Structure 1
Amino acid sequence: MINKLLTLLHTPYPVLVKRWKAVVIPSFIVFIILFLLQPFGISMMESHKFWVLLGYGIVSSMALSVFVYMLPATFPRYYDEQHWTLGKELLGTLGACMLIAIGNWFYTAWWFGGNLLSWRGFLISVIWVGILAPFPIAFFLMWNRNLQLARNLKEATEMNFILSKKISLRKEKREAEAEEEDDVCCPVTEKPAHLVFSGGTKEMLEIPADALLYVEAEGNYVRIIYRVENKIQQRLLRATMKQAEEAVAACPFIVRCHRAFLVNVSTVVKVDGNSQGYRLRLDGCKDEVPVSRAYSKEVKTLIEGTLEG
């Protein structure tokens, strides 16, 4: 149970697409909810009610700005997009809520003349933040996820359009080459590059580079999926992903696309987008290969730029 929870917390989480909205929208929701509930004795006020509520919204926006702008600028490595996880997102959300509670405590004491040394006022502020926070948090998490999904679907559509043109060009090129070979008595064929996979044992696998579909890490092993005479084969070797990367280093069309996957980009026939990134469909292969956020730009560049031939 604990291992599953830790794994979940370490899963990649989409970073903010529009950071200013992460400040403005939750603060506006806080303002609306406070206007409806009117806690902290605001319901008994006869004047300045709007400005008091606006002050709570401003306090919330200032606290959120610390976590959306100030801390990422101060600690860029921690907030790096490629290493952002669900656990970091939850920790940041809890920190923002606590800072909002502290800000509201100070603001309430300043406006209503309360005692800042009173833990009762702080406790009330924490309770109210705990009651109100789930609404803007849930809204924003859904909004951010949908925004990421829309962006990835758009990019997947663009890549699929390019792929369709590349596949058509390849088909025409193969047909033209086949016609040329028919006109030559003894055609000279260029020997394709070969890949040699080996690990800590005497086992090894040698295949043509263009036959490889993808490589998947499985603990202390790697599973190599490749095509032989139009049939999908697989081989499990005791090796690391680093050793597998070294084996394909001479082939620029075979790249890392996930912490546990290498993929032959030249075999991609379709791209599916989701909120976490992309999933690649390969020629003649029923499996889909995931592309994580850290490698999405490189894979997208290869699909759009290096499949011209």
Structure 2
Amino acid sequence: MKTLFDKLVVLLCSPYPELRARWKTVVLPSLLVFFILYVLQPFGISRMEGNKLLVLAGYAVVSSAMLAVAVYVFPALFPAWYREERWTVGKEILSTLLLCVLITLGNWCYTAGVFGLELNLRLLAVCLLWMVVIGPFPIVLFVMWNRNLQLSHNLQEAVAMNARLAERVQAEAVSEPRSAAARGEVLLEGGTRESLALDPARLLYAESEGNYVRLRYLDAGSGKTAVKLLRLTLKQAEDAFLDYSYIIRCHRAYLVNLHRVAQVSGNAQGYRLHLEGCGTEIPVSRSYAVRVKRALEGSE
């Protein structure tokens, strides 16, 4: 049983897709900051006479500058760390915290300059306090925005894949599975002297479970789904089906027979494959999404 720490590690290491346009990430939060500051008027701005809007605009510019550093400069300096396909929930959290620190430091310097104050810890604490008060609004807004963008994108992709799948599924199910069956069965041998001779066309999916692989397939005699647990790695199972292009890796823990895919659904996390005669939904991870999409649409 997974502990709370294990679940937290899995969450932090899980993919976090980013679809936001970078310029919007710089401009829109700054406008929101300007609006919130105009309503709350912190840092003694409420007691100012004259140039309030100009001072408030300065805070928005500082926020934009710090956002630009986080969005443009850091990814250019550290491209490996910011690679989109390797971006995770944990990295998103660290990036957000770093951005909050940058904006706090920027506001600290700007506030001292505008009001002629000394750059001391007391002023830094005040700026940090207002970051804690104001920061959650743009952070929550942009997390929800990115989630909705991802959901909309994945739903549209799923609709397109389902339309293409409906056109191709009958021809694929007749041609390639039959020719594959004619070439014989694949022998999967486990480390405990157990083995399974399987017609690749009957495989539904293979799932990694520690040092074992769980294979779910259609039984040749009854036509019902059957399960076999073998002591081998998913990479070994993948290599065994290497000659069958319709059996591919779709996730670090799953192989799937694309000829058995009846429907594709999309949500904020990605795609899920629904197989014929099988209640299990197979996840498609971000790193394999493009390959699965191309294979389903027949462009690979």
TM interval, short-chain normalised: over 0.9
| 2:82 corresponds to 1:79 | yes
Specify the alignment match of 1:265 in structure 2: 258
**Structure 2: how far apart are the matches of 1:283 and 1:190?**
18
The verdict on how the C-alpha distance between 1:120 and 1:190 changes in structure 2, with shifts beyond 3 A counting, is closer
The within-5 A match list for 1:113-132 is 113-116=116-119, 118-132=120-134
**Structure 1: how far apart are the matches of 2:158 and 2:145?**
20
User: Residues 172 and 259 of structure 2 are in contact (CA less than 8 Å); yes or no, is this contact kept in structure 1?
Assistant: no
RMSD across aligned C-alpha pairs, in angstroms? 1.9
**Structure 2: how far apart are the matches of 1:256 and 1:17?**
28
Deviations 1:246-270 (A, max 9, x none): 1111211111111110111121111
Which one of 164, 167, 184 corresponds to residue 166 of structure 2? 164
Specify the alignment match of 1:180 in structure 2: none
Deviations 1:81-111 (A, max 9, x none): 2221111100100000010000000011111
- What is the number of residues matched between the two proteins? 292
Paired residue secondary structure (1:305): coil
| 2:234 corresponds to 1:231 | no
**Structure 2: how far apart are the matches of 1:170 and 1:87?**
41
Which one of 289, 292, 303 corresponds to residue 296 of structure 2? 303
Structure number with greater Rg is 1
The alpha carbon displacement at 1:306 in A equals 5.3
- TM-score (normalised: structure 2): 0.92
**Structure 2: how far apart are the matches of 1:189 and 1:293?**
29
**Structure 2: how far apart are the matches of 1:248 and 1:32?**
58
The verdict on how the C-alpha distance between 1:190 and 1:31 changes in structure 2, with shifts beyond 3 A counting, is closer
Which one of 17, 20, 29 corresponds to residue 32 of structure 2? 29
Specify the alignment match of 1:212 in structure 2: 203
- TM-score (normalised: structure 1): 0.90
Deviations 1:162-218 (A, max 9, x none): 1111135558x68xxxxxxxxxxxxx9971442222232311111011111111011
The alpha carbon displacement at 1:147 in A equals 0.2
Specify the alignment match of 1:248 in structure 2: 241
**Structure 2: how far apart are the matches of 1:109 and 1:306?**
59
The within-5 A match list for 1:50-89 is 50-89=53-92
The alpha carbon displacement at 1:113 in A equals 0.9
**Structure 1: how far apart are the matches of 2:172 and 2:91?**
44
| Identity value in percent | 50
User: Residues 19 and 149 of structure 2 are in contact (CA less than 8 Å); yes or no, is this contact kept in structure 1?
Assistant: no
The within-5 A match list for 1:36-51 is 36-51=39-54
